[in-house]
Structure 1
Amino acid sequence: MGDVAVIVPTLRRPESLERALRSLFRQTGVADRVAEIVVVDNDPTGSAADLTEALRAVSPWPILYRHAPTPGVATARNAGLSATTAPLIAFLDDDEAASPGWLAALLKAQAETGADAVFGPITGRAPGAEAWLQDYLERFFGRDGPTQTGLIAEPYGCGNSLMLRATALPGRTPFNVAADQVGGEDDALFAALAARGGRFGWAADAQVEEFAPPHRATLKYALARAFAYGQGPSQTAAAARNWPGVARWMLIGAAQTAVWGVGAAALTLIASPRRAALYDRTARGAGKVFWMKGLEPRFYGSRELDRLNRAAARFRAGVR
């Protein structure tokens, strides 16, 4: 039996989910390594069940379906972990498509580096974006890294990753569900791993594509994400009660906001497409300053999240 489970959380993206799963079916060089693919359906109504069942017939490995009716990215990832006992866990998001050598490259990099968590590059795709924003958004949704496989000092996000369960994902619920609506659950996970002496690796050949759906391929969404990314260092320092560290990050953020904000304003006056990148840097700087609880953007959310939570409550109560 294989020693790797691939977890794919999903929320109402049937076409993207099918693309992600079919990309997993085409993986090469790992026939004896994959124990199962775990689809975690985060829709209260369980909308991914029929598609998952239909694709079982063409999957080279068992597909497990796990329903996590309370919407939230941390909840979904924890539910996926509870469905498998595999010692190695790979994560692929439902808006990603893996290259045929993806999983083999992650496994090879982990064996070579001994890292507790290994990450790979992402090519962003934003086919529905405005023309002037497309280059920026594709870089935003993408992920670059070293050209060579090896150990790295800082972690990336969970999408396109492989982790040793025993060291990187301890306990029954390693992802903090308090981050369900705002994200950042992987930042906290990796900060704790680093504090325990964990190591991070990079698999240069573990390539995936990430396809931004129309509602995300916008400047508003990207800047909200950039603001949240900026909050990360300050929030991590605050969680550790490292108040000098918080002050340092806030000062850095204030300087970034001022410098990049001026540049963004200048490029806006001439309608340069490059202004989007400076908006991004300004937002990240502001996030370091305004990191406090209650100021986090709600990506899974606001009215949509409230609606889904009400639906989840009705579902659990047996009311359709």
Structure 2
Amino acid sequence: MPSSIPTISVVICTYTEKRLSLLTQVVESVRLQTLTPDQIIVVVDHNEDLYKRLLMDFRDVVLVESQAQPGLAGARNTGVSVATSEIIAFLDDDAEAAPDWLERLSVFYDDPDVLAVGGRVEPVWETGRPAYFSEELDWIVGCSYRGMPRMAAEVRNLIGANMSFRSDVLEHVGGFNHDLGRQAVKPLGCEETEICIRSTLASPGARIVYDPAAVVNHHVPTSRGTLSYMLTRAWSEGLSKAQVSHLVGHKRALRSERRYVRTILPRAVLSGIRDWGTGRDSAGLGQAGAIVAVLACTTGGYLRGRQIAHTTRSRAARTTTAPEEAWRTVTT
């Protein structure tokens, strides 16, 4: 444990009654932490009926309604605005924390050069992992994937379901970008990538740490294991990465993805084909095919996103239209 344990607020954002039972388990997992948080903050994203219901169910948490535009980024920023601790940890409303989650995250903040710390997100499949869904693709369902560090290491960005930041870092960079990230059922993302990059740019020499020993278990519904969802999410990831690239630069936005595409995915495809050919795993060919399809969709989404950015810049040279307007209106 660090010599001086920082105070920690945990922010959990929610938007639908469909996850109420999961949310209850998530909040309980935070209550039972070996390192007790100073605050448990539940932010309701523009759902007044849900907010009123939670007023009755959660009397010992800080319950607030999002004061920003709809979407996960705005809800997180609302949580940050009411947090009073040195460290702000974020947990999804369907991601149950292991008992020592906060304790493991807090250890790294003894180093003043550490800006943010996150951990492993383990998928808990509602009806079992689909045979064609390889672990290399677990990022599609918001989880840690094969190829990520197996021990504590410096990384470019953290996973949104399991991350924490120094509060002064979030204040310094202005919080999460409202034009990025998931909005209701639209499977966009990358707001975590963008804020992590902005944080390190604002503090040269500082570090972001990923520790796979700090675990949360993320519920994955059956609908997110379908090929349709995989490809939709892949396309959206490409769009989102293109927008991040537009904001922070091509090299910074795709540094981790280059290694993933050049080494992790080819190895997984070859392994799947080999396992299928030798009879070791009959699902191997399906896994290889799914990886190729996901890569193609992600690339297509990225190229479409770059096209949107180019069109936006051209319009901006002739009109007063703000660049982000095109992103809000053109997402396919």
CA 1:147 to 1:109, structure 2 compared with 1: closer, same or farther past 3 Å?
Answer: farther
CA shift, 1:136, in A, is 5.2
Give the structure-2-normalised TM-score: 0.70
Gaps of 5+ in 1: 57-61, 296-320
CA 1:188 to 1:2, structure 2 compared with 1: closer, same or farther past 3 Å?
Answer: closer
More displaced, 151-160 or 87-96? 151-160
2:168 maps to which of 166, 169, 172: 166
Tell me the secondary structure at the aligned position of residue 223 of structure 1: helix
Tell me the secondary structure at the aligned position of residue 195 of structure 2: helix
Q: Which residue pairs with 2:11 in the alignment?
A: 7
Following the alignment from structure 1 to structure 2, what is the Cα–Cα distance between the partners of residues 203 and 112? 14
CA 1:120 to 1:283, structure 2 compared with 1: closer, same or farther past 3 Å?
Answer: same
Instruction: Tell me if structure 2 keeps the 8 A contact 1:128–1:217.
Output: no
Instruction: Tell me if structure 2 keeps the 8 A contact 1:119–1:202.
Output: yes
More displaced, 64-73 or 115-124? 64-73
Instruction: Tell me if structure 1 keeps the 8 A contact 2:198–2:248.
Output: no
Q: Does 1:239 align with 2:247?
A: yes
Q: Which residue pairs with 2:330 in the alignment?
A: none
1:35 maps to which of 23, 28, 38: 38
Summarize deviations over 1:230-252 as a string: whole Å, max 9, x none: 3454433322466xx59x99xx8
Summarize deviations over 1:35-83 as a string: whole Å, max 9, x none: 1000001142241443454243xxxxx5100112753111110111111
CA shift, 1:204, in A, is 2.7
Following the alignment from structure 2 to structure 1, what is the Cα–Cα distance between the partners of residues 132 and 233? 15
Following the alignment from structure 1 to structure 2, what is the Cα–Cα distance between the partners of residues 117 and 75? 19
Following the alignment from structure 1 to structure 2, what is the Cα–Cα distance between the partners of residues 11 and 97? 17
CA 1:137 to 1:53, structure 2 compared with 1: closer, same or farther past 3 Å?
Answer: farther
Q: Which residue pairs with 1:177 in the alignment?
A: 178
CA shift, 1:85, in A, is 2.3
CA shift, 1:106, in A, is 0.4
In angstroms, what is the RMSD of aligned CA positions?
A: 3.6
Tell me the secondary structure at the aligned position of residue 48 of structure 2: coil
Q: Which residue pairs with 1:146 in the alignment?
A: 149
Q: Which residue pairs with 1:313 in the alignment?
A: none
Q: Which residue pairs with 1:289 in the alignment?
A: 303
Identity %: 22
Following the alignment from structure 1 to structure 2, what is the Cα–Cα distance between the partners of residues 236 and 88? 25
CA shift, 1:294, in A, is 5.9
Q: Which residue pairs with 1:96 in the alignment?
A: 95
Give the structure-1-normalised TM-score: 0.72
Following the alignment from structure 2 to structure 1, what is the Cα–Cα distance between the partners of residues 6 and 63? 18
Superposition pairs of residues 196-215 of structure 1, within 5 angstroms: 196=202, 197=204, 198-215=206-223
Tell me the secondary structure at the aligned position of residue 146 of structure 1: coil
Summarize deviations over 1:217-273 as a string: whole Å, max 9, x none: 32222222223333454433322466xx59x99xx8xx98xx98xx89x98xx9832
CA shift, 1:99, in A, is 0.4
CA 1:241 to 1:160, structure 2 compared with 1: closer, same or farther past 3 Å?
Answer: closer
Tell me the secondary structure at the aligned position of residue 43 of structure 2: strand
More helix by share: 2
CA shift, 1:281, in A, is 2.1
Q: Which residue pairs with 1:273 in the alignment?
A: 286
Q: How many residues align?
A: 274
Q: Which residue pairs with 2:27 in the alignment?
A: 21
Gaps of 5+ in 2: 274-281, 310-332
Query: 2:14 is aligned with what amino acid?
Result: T
CA shift, 1:2, in A, is 7.1
More displaced, 46-55 or 64-73? 46-55
Tell me the secondary structure at the aligned position of residue 189 of structure 1: helix
Q: Which residue pairs with 1:216 in the alignment?
A: 224
2:48 maps to which of 33, 37, 45: 45
Tell me the secondary structure at the aligned position of residue 80 of structure 1: helix
